[in-house]
Amino acid sequence: MGDSEDMRLVRPKLEVALFRGSDAVSAGVLTAAELRTPRFIRLYRNAYVVRGTPITHELRCRAAALIVPEGCVLTGRSAATVRGVPLAAADDPVEMNSTFVDRARWRPGLRIRRVDVSEDESEPWEGIRIASSVRIAYDLLIGLLPLEKRVAYTDAWLRAGNADVEELSQLVEDRHDHGVRLGRAAMQLVDPRAESIPESELRVLLALAGLSPVPQLVVRNGSHFIARVDLGFEEERVAVEYDGAWHAEPNQLGRDRQRLNLLQENGWRVVSVTASALYSNPEGVVAAVQKALIESRRVRRVLAT
Protein backbone atom coordinates (compact mmCIF):
# COMPACT_ATOMS: atom_id res chain seq x y z
CA MET A 1 0.00 0.00 0.00
CA GLY A 2 1.46 3.38 -1.01
CA ASP A 3 1.56 6.34 1.32
CA SER A 4 -1.06 8.14 -0.77
CA GLU A 5 -3.56 5.24 -0.65
CA ASP A 6 -4.55 5.74 3.00
CA MET A 7 -3.84 9.18 4.45
CA ARG A 8 -5.33 8.00 7.75
CA LEU A 9 -2.60 5.44 8.32
CA VAL A 10 0.10 6.53 10.78
CA ARG A 11 3.21 4.42 10.20
CA PRO A 12 3.85 2.41 13.37
CA LYS A 13 7.28 3.69 14.35
CA LEU A 14 8.21 4.30 17.93
CA GLU A 15 9.39 7.80 17.09
CA VAL A 16 5.89 8.65 15.85
CA ALA A 17 4.01 10.27 18.73
CA LEU A 18 0.48 9.28 17.65
CA PHE A 19 -0.46 5.91 16.15
CA ARG A 20 -3.06 3.17 15.93
CA GLY A 21 -2.24 0.27 18.17
CA SER A 22 -3.49 -2.27 15.64
CA ASP A 23 -1.06 -0.88 13.04
CA ALA A 24 1.88 -1.20 15.41
CA VAL A 25 0.94 -4.75 16.40
CA SER A 26 0.23 -5.99 12.85
CA ALA A 27 3.54 -4.53 11.66
CA GLY A 28 5.38 -6.32 14.45
CA VAL A 29 6.76 -3.10 15.92
CA LEU A 30 4.96 -3.62 19.24
CA THR A 31 3.06 -6.39 20.95
CA ALA A 32 -0.35 -5.97 22.55
CA ALA A 33 1.32 -6.39 25.94
CA GLU A 34 3.81 -3.61 25.20
CA LEU A 35 0.93 -1.23 24.37
CA ARG A 36 -0.30 -1.69 27.92
CA THR A 37 2.99 -0.60 29.46
CA PRO A 38 3.62 2.90 30.86
CA ARG A 39 5.56 3.76 27.69
CA PHE A 40 2.28 4.63 25.97
CA ILE A 41 -0.97 6.44 26.75
CA ARG A 42 -4.25 5.28 25.21
CA LEU A 43 -6.36 8.29 24.20
CA TYR A 44 -9.13 6.19 22.64
CA ARG A 45 -9.53 2.51 21.91
CA ASN A 46 -6.78 1.75 19.37
CA ALA A 47 -5.34 5.30 19.42
CA TYR A 48 -2.09 5.72 21.38
CA VAL A 49 0.58 8.32 22.02
CA VAL A 50 4.10 7.95 23.32
CA ARG A 51 4.20 8.95 26.99
CA GLY A 52 5.60 12.44 27.39
CA THR A 53 3.75 13.79 24.37
CA PRO A 54 1.86 16.99 25.32
CA ILE A 55 -1.85 16.13 25.36
CA THR A 56 -3.72 18.99 23.69
CA HIS A 57 -7.25 19.08 22.35
CA GLU A 58 -5.91 19.19 18.81
CA LEU A 59 -3.96 16.00 19.51
CA ARG A 60 -7.16 14.36 20.77
CA CYS A 61 -8.89 15.44 17.56
CA ARG A 62 -6.14 13.84 15.49
CA ALA A 63 -6.35 10.70 17.59
CA ALA A 64 -10.11 10.54 17.11
CA ALA A 65 -9.64 10.91 13.36
CA LEU A 66 -7.62 7.69 13.39
CA ILE A 67 -10.42 5.54 14.75
CA VAL A 68 -13.80 7.03 13.69
CA PRO A 69 -15.57 6.22 10.41
CA GLU A 70 -14.46 8.26 7.40
CA GLY A 71 -17.85 9.97 7.15
CA CYS A 72 -17.32 11.86 10.40
CA VAL A 73 -16.86 15.65 10.31
CA LEU A 74 -14.92 17.48 13.01
CA THR A 75 -16.91 20.51 14.11
CA GLY A 76 -17.95 22.80 17.00
CA ARG A 77 -15.40 23.72 19.63
CA SER A 78 -13.05 21.01 18.41
CA ALA A 79 -12.89 22.32 14.85
CA ALA A 80 -12.59 25.90 16.11
CA THR A 81 -9.63 24.89 18.29
CA VAL A 82 -7.91 23.10 15.41
CA ARG A 83 -8.45 26.18 13.24
CA GLY A 84 -6.78 28.46 15.78
CA VAL A 85 -9.53 29.66 18.14
CA PRO A 86 -9.00 27.66 21.36
CA LEU A 87 -12.55 27.00 22.57
CA ALA A 88 -11.95 23.46 23.87
CA ALA A 89 -9.73 22.35 26.74
CA ALA A 90 -7.44 19.36 26.42
CA ASP A 91 -9.89 17.01 28.18
CA ASP A 92 -13.09 18.22 26.51
CA PRO A 93 -14.92 15.71 24.30
CA VAL A 94 -14.05 15.80 20.62
CA GLU A 95 -17.12 17.07 18.73
CA MET A 96 -18.09 15.55 15.39
CA ASN A 97 -21.03 15.20 13.04
CA SER A 98 -21.97 12.08 11.12
CA THR A 99 -24.81 11.10 8.79
CA PHE A 100 -25.01 7.80 10.66
CA VAL A 101 -24.33 6.63 14.18
CA ASP A 102 -22.30 3.61 15.17
CA ARG A 103 -20.63 2.51 18.38
CA ALA A 104 -18.03 5.28 18.03
CA ARG A 105 -20.69 7.69 19.27
CA TRP A 106 -20.59 6.18 22.74
CA ARG A 107 -16.85 6.01 23.15
CA PRO A 108 -15.65 8.07 26.11
CA GLY A 109 -14.23 11.40 25.00
CA LEU A 110 -16.17 11.50 21.70
CA ARG A 111 -19.40 13.36 21.03
CA ILE A 112 -20.76 12.41 17.61
CA ARG A 113 -24.02 14.06 16.59
CA ARG A 114 -26.23 12.43 13.97
CA VAL A 115 -26.92 15.19 11.46
CA ASP A 116 -26.51 15.72 7.72
CA VAL A 117 -23.55 17.79 6.57
CA SER A 118 -23.46 18.70 2.88
CA GLU A 119 -20.28 18.33 0.85
CA ASP A 120 -19.77 22.10 0.63
CA GLU A 121 -19.95 22.45 4.44
CA SER A 122 -16.70 20.57 5.05
CA GLU A 123 -13.29 19.80 3.60
CA PRO A 124 -10.75 16.97 3.96
CA TRP A 125 -8.74 16.84 7.19
CA GLU A 126 -6.60 14.03 8.64
CA GLY A 127 -8.45 11.36 6.64
CA ILE A 128 -11.88 12.52 7.77
CA ARG A 129 -13.39 15.99 7.21
CA ILE A 130 -13.52 19.28 9.08
CA ALA A 131 -16.50 21.64 9.02
CA SER A 132 -16.46 24.92 7.11
CA SER A 133 -16.25 28.17 9.06
CA VAL A 134 -19.96 28.96 8.94
CA ARG A 135 -20.87 25.34 9.73
CA ILE A 136 -18.63 25.46 12.80
CA ALA A 137 -20.53 28.55 13.96
CA TYR A 138 -23.86 26.82 13.34
CA ASP A 139 -22.84 23.76 15.34
CA LEU A 140 -21.64 25.99 18.17
CA LEU A 141 -25.11 27.53 18.29
CA ILE A 142 -27.05 24.24 18.36
CA GLY A 143 -24.70 22.40 20.72
CA LEU A 144 -25.54 20.79 24.04
CA LEU A 145 -24.04 23.51 26.25
CA PRO A 146 -25.99 26.14 28.19
CA LEU A 147 -27.27 29.13 26.22
CA GLU A 148 -24.68 31.60 27.51
CA LYS A 149 -21.83 29.24 26.58
CA ARG A 150 -23.18 28.62 23.08
CA VAL A 151 -23.54 32.35 22.47
CA ALA A 152 -20.11 33.17 23.94
CA TYR A 153 -18.31 30.54 21.87
CA THR A 154 -20.08 31.71 18.72
CA ASP A 155 -19.16 35.31 19.53
CA ALA A 156 -15.51 34.30 19.87
CA TRP A 157 -15.54 32.41 16.57
CA LEU A 158 -17.16 35.30 14.71
CA ARG A 159 -14.92 37.86 16.41
CA ALA A 160 -11.90 36.08 14.95
CA GLY A 161 -13.29 36.84 11.49
CA ASN A 162 -14.07 33.24 10.61
CA ALA A 163 -17.69 33.64 9.53
CA ASP A 164 -20.21 36.29 8.55
CA VAL A 165 -23.07 37.09 10.94
CA GLU A 166 -25.63 37.48 8.16
CA GLU A 167 -24.59 34.22 6.50
CA LEU A 168 -24.86 32.40 9.83
CA SER A 169 -28.25 33.93 10.56
CA GLN A 170 -29.55 32.77 7.18
CA LEU A 171 -28.20 29.25 7.74
CA VAL A 172 -29.95 29.05 11.11
CA GLU A 173 -33.23 30.10 9.49
CA ASP A 174 -32.90 27.64 6.63
CA ARG A 175 -31.97 24.52 8.62
CA HIS A 176 -34.43 22.14 10.28
CA ASP A 177 -32.08 19.95 12.32
CA HIS A 178 -32.85 18.74 15.81
CA GLY A 179 -31.90 21.58 18.15
CA VAL A 180 -32.23 24.36 15.58
CA ARG A 181 -34.84 26.13 17.72
CA LEU A 182 -32.22 26.46 20.43
CA GLY A 183 -29.85 27.75 17.78
CA ARG A 184 -32.32 30.40 16.66
CA ALA A 185 -32.81 31.58 20.23
CA ALA A 186 -29.04 31.78 20.69
CA MET A 187 -28.63 33.61 17.37
CA GLN A 188 -30.78 36.46 18.69
CA LEU A 189 -28.15 37.06 21.37
CA VAL A 190 -25.01 36.74 19.25
CA ASP A 191 -22.78 39.83 19.22
CA PRO A 192 -19.09 39.37 18.38
CA ARG A 193 -18.04 42.78 19.72
CA ALA A 194 -17.20 41.35 23.18
CA GLU A 195 -13.47 40.82 23.65
CA SER A 196 -13.63 37.67 25.77
CA ILE A 197 -15.86 34.70 26.46
CA PRO A 198 -16.72 35.86 30.02
CA GLU A 199 -17.74 39.27 28.66
CA SER A 200 -20.14 37.55 26.26
CA GLU A 201 -21.53 35.40 29.08
CA LEU A 202 -22.01 38.51 31.22
CA ARG A 203 -23.86 40.27 28.41
CA VAL A 204 -26.14 37.26 27.88
CA LEU A 205 -26.85 37.11 31.61
CA LEU A 206 -27.95 40.75 31.57
CA ALA A 207 -29.91 40.34 28.34
CA LEU A 208 -31.90 37.45 29.82
CA ALA A 209 -32.77 39.78 32.70
CA GLY A 210 -34.20 42.30 30.24
CA LEU A 211 -31.16 44.59 30.13
CA SER A 212 -29.47 45.71 26.91
CA PRO A 213 -25.92 46.96 27.43
CA VAL A 214 -23.74 47.90 24.47
CA PRO A 215 -20.51 45.85 24.18
CA GLN A 216 -17.24 47.79 24.00
CA LEU A 217 -18.98 51.14 24.38
CA VAL A 218 -16.73 54.16 23.80
CA VAL A 219 -17.22 56.86 26.44
CA ARG A 220 -16.49 60.44 25.40
CA ASN A 221 -16.80 63.89 26.88
CA GLY A 222 -17.64 65.83 23.76
CA SER A 223 -14.90 64.85 21.32
CA HIS A 224 -12.51 63.80 24.11
CA PHE A 225 -12.02 60.05 24.54
CA ILE A 226 -12.49 58.88 28.14
CA ALA A 227 -12.54 55.10 28.01
CA ARG A 228 -13.91 52.03 26.26
CA VAL A 229 -15.95 49.91 28.66
CA ASP A 230 -16.80 46.21 28.42
CA LEU A 231 -20.54 46.84 28.60
CA GLY A 232 -22.24 50.21 28.82
CA PHE A 233 -25.63 51.83 29.26
CA GLU A 234 -25.00 55.20 27.64
CA GLU A 235 -28.22 56.97 28.64
CA GLU A 236 -27.85 56.04 32.31
CA ARG A 237 -24.06 56.39 32.25
CA VAL A 238 -23.52 52.98 33.81
CA ALA A 239 -20.54 50.82 32.86
CA VAL A 240 -20.23 47.11 33.62
CA GLU A 241 -16.65 45.84 33.68
CA TYR A 242 -15.50 42.23 33.83
CA ASP A 243 -12.40 41.87 36.00
CA GLY A 244 -10.42 38.97 34.59
CA ALA A 245 -7.19 37.63 36.00
CA TRP A 246 -5.11 40.07 33.94
CA HIS A 247 -6.61 42.97 35.92
CA ALA A 248 -4.66 41.80 38.95
CA GLU A 249 -1.32 42.49 37.28
CA PRO A 250 0.53 45.34 39.07
CA ASN A 251 0.77 47.71 36.09
CA GLN A 252 -2.80 47.03 35.03
CA LEU A 253 -4.13 47.78 38.51
CA GLY A 254 -2.84 51.33 38.34
CA ARG A 255 -4.27 51.88 34.87
CA ASP A 256 -7.63 50.51 35.98
CA ARG A 257 -7.78 52.94 38.91
CA GLN A 258 -6.93 55.89 36.68
CA ARG A 259 -9.57 54.80 34.19
CA LEU A 260 -12.15 54.35 36.95
CA ASN A 261 -11.45 57.85 38.26
CA LEU A 262 -11.90 59.33 34.78
CA LEU A 263 -15.24 57.59 34.33
CA GLN A 264 -16.51 58.71 37.73
CA GLU A 265 -15.34 62.27 37.15
CA ASN A 266 -17.46 62.28 34.01
CA GLY A 267 -20.57 61.09 35.82
CA TRP A 268 -20.37 57.36 35.17
CA ARG A 269 -21.16 54.59 37.64
CA VAL A 270 -19.03 51.47 37.29
CA VAL A 271 -20.13 47.97 38.31
CA SER A 272 -17.15 45.60 38.48
CA VAL A 273 -17.89 41.89 38.04
CA THR A 274 -15.37 39.23 39.06
CA ALA A 275 -15.23 35.70 37.69
CA SER A 276 -16.34 34.40 41.07
CA ALA A 277 -19.43 36.61 41.07
CA LEU A 278 -20.32 35.84 37.45
CA TYR A 279 -20.24 32.08 37.86
CA SER A 280 -21.26 31.59 41.49
CA ASN A 281 -23.69 34.47 42.06
CA PRO A 282 -25.21 35.56 38.74
CA GLU A 283 -28.38 36.80 40.47
CA GLY A 284 -26.25 39.13 42.55
CA VAL A 285 -24.55 40.46 39.43
CA VAL A 286 -27.90 41.27 37.82
CA ALA A 287 -29.14 42.89 41.02
CA ALA A 288 -26.01 45.09 41.25
CA VAL A 289 -26.42 46.32 37.68
CA GLN A 290 -30.14 46.94 38.14
CA LYS A 291 -29.41 48.91 41.32
CA ALA A 292 -26.85 51.08 39.53
CA LEU A 293 -29.31 51.77 36.71
CA ILE A 294 -32.11 52.69 39.15
CA GLU A 295 -29.87 55.00 41.14
CA SER A 296 -28.58 56.66 37.99
CA ARG A 297 -32.11 57.31 36.70
CA ARG A 298 -33.15 58.70 40.08
CA VAL A 299 -30.22 61.14 40.14
CA ARG A 300 -30.94 62.23 36.58
CA ARG A 301 -34.57 62.92 37.46
CA VAL A 302 -33.50 65.01 40.47
CA LEU A 303 -31.05 67.01 38.38
CA ALA A 304 -33.70 67.58 35.76
CA THR A 305 -36.10 69.24 38.23
What pLDDT is stored for residue 305 in this prediction?
75
What's this model's pTM, rounded to 2 decimal places? 0.87
Residue 200 has pLDDT above 50, yes or no: yes
What rounded mean pLDDT belongs to the chain? 89
Domain residue limits, the chain: 1-53, 58-187, 197-304
Q: How confident is the model at residue 142 (pLDDT cuts 50, 70, 90)?
A: very high
In which band, very low, low, confident or very high, does the pLDDT at 15 lie, cut at 50, 70 and 90? low
Dihedral, CA of residue 196, residue 108, residue 187 and residue 218, to nearest 10: 0
What DSSP letter does each residue of the chain carry, written as one string?
A: --GGG-TTPPP--TT-SEEEHHHHHHTTSS-HHHHTSTTEEEEETTEEEETTS---HHHHHHHHHHHS-TT-EE-HHHHHHHTT---S-TTSPEEEEESS--GGGGSTTEEEEE----GGGEEEETTEEEE-HHHHHHHHHTSSS-HHHHHHHHHHHHHTTSS-HHHHHHHHHH---TTHHHHHHHHTT--TT-SSHHHHHHHHHHHHTT--PEEEEEEEETTEEEEEEEEEETTTTEEEEEE-GGGGSHHHHHHHHHHHHHHHHTT-EEEEEEHHHHHH-HHHHHHHHHHHHHHHHHHHHHHH-
Report which listed range, 78-92, 105-119, 289-303, is most confident.
78-92
pLDDT at 11: 41
pLDDT band at 84 (very low <50, low <70, confident <90, very high): very high
pLDDT grade for 1, boundaries at 50, 70 and 90: very low
Confidence at 251, pLDDT banded by 50, 70, 90: low
Residue 249: the pLDDT is 52
Judging by DSSP bridges, how do beta strands 269-274 and 238-243 pair with one another?
A: parallel
Which pLDDT value is given to residue 106? 60
Q: Per residue in 145-187, pLDDT tens?
A: 999 999 999 999 999 999 999 999 999 999 988 889 999 999 9
Taking residues 30-59, what's their average pLDDT? 95
Q: Which CATH superfamily is domain 197-304 in?
A: VSR Endonuclease (3.40.960.10)
The pLDDT value recorded for residue 302 is 83
Range from 54-63, 122-131, 176-185 carrying the lowest mean pLDDT: 176-185
pLDDT of 80 over the 50 cut: yes
Position 70 scores a pLDDT of 82
> What's the pLDDT band for 7 if we cut at 50, 70, 90?
very low
For the ranges 58-62, 102-106, 256-260, the one whose mean pLDDT is highest:
58-62
Question: What single-letter DSSP state applies at residue 129?
Answer: E
pLDDT in the model for residue 14: 52
Judged against a pLDDT cut of 70, whether residue 248 lies above it is answered with no
